[in-house]
Copies of this chain bind each other. A is one copy, B any other.
Amino acid sequence: MTAIDFNAHRRARSGAADDTARLLELEARYCSHGDTVHYTDPPKIFDRCEGSYIFDTEGRRYLDLQMWYSAVNFGYANRRLNDAVKRQLDRLPQVASQYLHRQKIELAAMIAEDAEQKFGQKGRVHFNVGGSQAVEDSLKLVRNATGGKSLMFAFEGGYHGRTLGASSITSSYRYRRRYGHFGDRAQFVPFPYCFRCPYGKKREDCGLFCVEQFARLFDTEYYGVWDSKAQSCEFAAFYVEMIQGTGGYVIPPPGYFERLKEILEARKILLVDDEIQMGFYRAGKLWAIENFNVKPDIIVFGKAITNGLNPLSGVWAREELINPTVFPPGSTHSTFNANPIGTAVALEAMHMMRDHDYEEMTALKGARFLAGLRDLKKRHKIIGDVDGLGLALRIEICEPHDSFTPSKAITDRLVDIALAGDLEDGGRKVGLVLDIGGYHKNVITLAPSLEITYEEIDLAIALLDQLFDRVGQ
């Protein structure tokens, strides 16, 4: 039998350490390092997870404060959601996307009915897999609705994915540099990042200078984006994360998005709300945008809708943009777009969100966590800023001499030490899993499980305190 003659590399059951070494060696030889694994060196191997904890191959426990960048909002190995997968496996684990199944329909209906109630706008849902592909679908909706316009506004610091199309509207040039020309590159607009105001203003008296700078672009055709005679903008839509994810969990000031939406509506520019990271109660509401008193034209979602069990993603769009006349059959497609396992677990997650008051829960837990962070800030000069909305929280790490100059070096040390796993919790060794974000890679972006307990929050604060102490020494 010669079909596949794999040089079988059997797991030596002897010891975890041997096994880990073998795995790292295989990884060094056969895995692409083009993903983000080798941001850490050596890479960390995890073996088991439960609730707010993840365990390495040696069984060491890590309190996870990033939860797969907010993909696992409902805790690792959440029983209810895991069971939903198992049920679906037993009944209809597969069905071609050209046919229907109950879960797809009910999930779309739940999302659209909720949006209709909240935003007063009918709409529909289109599924796909992976956030980037949902972003690509949203680009198709926008381009289709605007006669083929393919230029977008997006935010400095914004992140919308890594397909070529999504990279075009994602701010970092590093993500495009190796790949030649991007003919649909977005125009990037400063985000209202008040701690480091791009215009050097103070929040108290800035009069939202930043959004008025954006408004200025429409004053004459010579600012490059607007044809006053034709009343037409060169840019079809503005892609926003209401709270930037990769950008460092920056929370915009009150009024910003209301004014932005006003400008966009006056210019017939669509607002695409990327909720891939902040959706599903990360920021205290089903959609982060609900915090800001504006209505989206399109919502893009992904990650936590399946609690990380399946890459299901999707877009909701206003009826005008997505009804079958303007967006008819065959407009877009992917094999796994509404795959039964993904939609089944997402449907269960939506039911779970209906069954429990996540809004109140995240408000209370978020308040406790943020209070802890504020306390830490008082005591550690390397903390320049802390902030939070719901359970999206941030700690900005700075040089201790001014608590302002960003320090990537200190941040890296903090995260490395946290991941080394030898912090102490009541005499036991424990680690912390932290994620880094921010324009200067100096922000610890905290996305704990929404199911985190108050005790775990207190532990998190205590462990962070230890951590800052160690680095501060």
Contacts and interface: CB of A to CB of B under 8 A. Distances in A.
B32 A221 contact: no
Among A90, A93, A176, A187: residue with most chain B CB under 10 A: A93
Interface in A32-50: 32-40, 43-49
A293 interface: no
A13 B311 CA distance: 30
Given A178-B144, A335-B68, A234 B173 contact: yes
A312 B325 CA distance: 33
A333 B69 CA distance: 13
Given A34-B327, A336-B311, A96 B66 contact: yes
Given A113-B7, A156-B222, A234-B177, A335 B311 contact: yes
24 contacts: A6-B114, A7-B113, A11-B102, A24-B100, A26-B105, A26-B106, A30-B105, A31-B124, A36-B329, A37-B97, A37-B100, A39-B329, A45-B100, A47-B101, A76-B93, A89-B309, A94-B307, A143-B178, A143-B180, A164-B165, A171-B221, A172-B224, A173-B232, A222-B247
Given A148-B181, A440-B220, A337 B92 contact: no
A167 B129 CA distance: 16
A353 interface: yes
Nearest to A177: B227
A3 B126 contact: no
B114 A5 contact: yes
A403 interface: no
A9 interface: yes
A279 interface: no
A439 B220 contact: yes
B30 A222 contact: no
Given A34-B328, A335-B303, A109 B9 contact: yes
A329 B95 contact: no
Interface string A72-116: 100011000010011001111111111111101110111111100
Nearest to A42: B100
Contacts of A185: 151, 234
Q: How large is the interface on A (under 10, 10 to 19, 20 to 34, 35 or more residues)?
A: 35 or more
A194 B321 CA distance: 42
A37 B316 CA distance: 17
Contacts of A101: 45-47
A253 to B, nearest CB: 19
Given A99-B44, A106-B9, A165-B163, A179 B148 contact: yes
A408 B327 CA distance: 23
A184 interface: yes
Contact of A113 (B30, B108, B127): B30
A308 B188 contact: no
A204 interface: no
A148 B124 CA distance: 29
A254 interface: no
B360 A39 contact: no
A455 interface: no
Contact of A157 (B183, B222, B336): B222
In order of increasing CB-CB distance, the 3 nearest A-B pairs are A148-B180, A183-B183, A32-B126
A317 B9 CA distance: 21
